[in-house]
Amino acid sequence: MPAKRPRGNGHATSIVSVRGQTIIPKRLRDTCQIHEGDRIRWRLYKGGLLVERLIITPAQKADALTDREWRQLDRLVSRQRKAQQRTHYTSVEDAKGHSRKLTRHAH
């Protein structure tokens, strides 16, 4: 679906919270097709900030860990740190496979 043309001048303002968070105004989110869960990149550009919506390919998405897998991996890493163990992975698939093996052994 092609991006909509912004109404008006395409400018909007928002406030930065104490935690550094801000809200992208709905009109701009709609125009730029930015949805909940999308990744955006912030870049310094000509003395200001440029915000870009990142497009994740199906292959990149397949390589990514799910929220559940991240939580499992976090728990496993915490256990390894407590036991002063370290594991190095060369790919996401290696990490996923190892975390599945460790999860099975932990139950």
pLDDT in tens, 17-37: 999 999 999 999 998 889 888
Q: What is the CATH number of domain 1-55?
A: 2.10.260.10
Domain ranges of the chain: 1-55, 59-106
Mean pLDDT on 38-44 = 89
pLDDT of residue 21: 92
Contact present, 4 and 29 (Cβ < 8 Å): no
Alpha-carbon gap, residue 102 to 83, rounded angstroms: 14
Confidence of residue 1 (pLDDT cuts 50, 70, 90): very low
Residue 45 pairs with which residues in a beta bridge?
A: 48
Would you say 35 and 5 are in contact if contact means Cβ atoms under 8 Å apart? no
What pLDDT, on a 0 to 100 scale, did the predictor assign at position 67?
79
Which of 45, 93, 89 is CA-nearest to residue 69? 93
Beta-strand pair 48-53/40-45: antiparallel
Whether the Cβ atoms of residue 99 and residue 69 lie closer than 8 Å to each other: yes
Q: What is the mean pLDDT of residues 38-48?
A: 90
CA-based radius of gyration for the chain:
20
Interval 45-97: pLDDT, tens: 998 988 888 887 666 666 677 778 778 878 877 887 888 877 777 777 777 77
